[in-house]
Amino acid sequence: MIVKCRGQREINNKVTLSEAIANERTFFEDHEEYRPLLEDKKASIPCLADRLTSELVEHIQDSLPDLEKEIEEKICLTTKDLEKYGEGVPEAHHEKVTFLIQVCM
């Protein structure tokens, strides 16, 4: 993958990103050595962005099953922990003390 970034002169001349991308495309189209790379989608910032986006989406899709499994395990553990506490914190003061002692043990 090859790209042609804006040079300092273009930055100083306030060349916009869209103009720079158009200049980059013209650069690759006009050079016989680089034209095949552009045709194979191996040159230019938009091609790089597309490739990186595809790789990111693929990585996310590959990671989702493991994340789903991990979330399910955490939900199961949390549910078991919550079951220890029964109905929640009691209303009566003397029951709250007993509840706290049981929770801390």
Q: Count CB neighbours of 14 within 10 A.
A: 7
DSSP SS3 for 55: helix
Is pLDDT above 80 for 103? no
pTM of the model: 0.66
Q: Which residue has the tokens 């680089």?
A: 34
DSSP SS3 for 2: strand
Domain spans of the chain? Answer: 8-104
Is pLDDT above 90 for 67? yes
CA-CA distance, 73 to 79, in Å (whole number)? Answer: 10
Q: What is the pLDDT of residues 21-65, one digit of tens each?
A: 999 999 999 999 999 999 999 999 999 999 999 999 999 999 999
Residue 26 one-letter amino acid = T
- The pLDDT value given to residue 98: 84
Is pLDDT above 90 for 90? no
- The pLDDT value given to residue 81: 83
Do the beta carbons of residue 48 and residue 71 sit within 8 Å? no
